Amino acid sequence: MIIRKSYTVWGLIAAFSLNLTGCMPFSMGIFTPTPVPPWVTDRMEEKYKHKNDHRTPIMPPIKEGAPPPLCEDAPDEAQIIRAMPQVSRGFPYVYEEHRDDIQIVTERLIDKIDPPRFFPLVGPAQLHHCHWKATIYYTETIESGYPFPVKIKRPRIQVVYIDKDHLHLYAGTPELQKSFTKDLAGY
């Protein structure tokens, strides 16, 4: 009986020690670390960080008798670079790809205002089309350190089209227009 207990005790100690050393695949239960590729966090950050890139802003109504507003706000460099195709991930020292010497030229393609119509959740509004063409000049660098070191630099040109459409509320009467302006702009 004593020998049987000692075998049981030694068996429990051996199982417990194997459990602590990491020899068992689920040694920490639900707290077992899971390997996650480093680009997963980057993709999640991109998904939630720039939520307003694809939303349509709602502007105050266009004043009667005033000239129609122009699309003056060109897309910023960060928005243009986010719209470009992503650089391939590659493997460190085996295949790496970089973009250097980036220059961006923007030009407005379309600036027009549609007649008023009804938009759900907004009401009567006018759609202001602002379409931009961004031409990106950059140097693509491809590097490899294995099996022998190679570095290739090529000039590249990428064209990205960005829509910055927005809505202008439509007010039929001047009183309604003043109340919209007061609610949205604060004056």
pLDDT value of residue 175: 74
Same domain, 111 and 22: no
Confidence of residue 4 (pLDDT cuts 50, 70, 90): low
Average pLDDT, the chain: 83
The pTM of the full predicted model, rounded to 2 decimals, is 0.68
Q: Which domain holds residue 8?
A: 1-36
Q: Is residue 90 part of a domain?
A: yes
Same domain, 118 and 177: yes
Q: Where are the alpha helices (DSSP H) in the chain?
A: 2-21, 39-49, 77-83, 174-185
Same domain, 17 and 80: no
Q: Strand (E) positions, the chain?
A: 58-59, 96-113, 117-119, 123-144, 150-163, 166-169
Torsion sign, CA atoms 74, 76, 77, 79? negative
Same domain, 89 and 21: no
Give me the number of domains the chain comprises. 2
Q: Is residue 44 part of a domain?
A: no
Residue 17 or 154, more confident: 154
pLDDT at residue 21 greater than cutoff 60: no
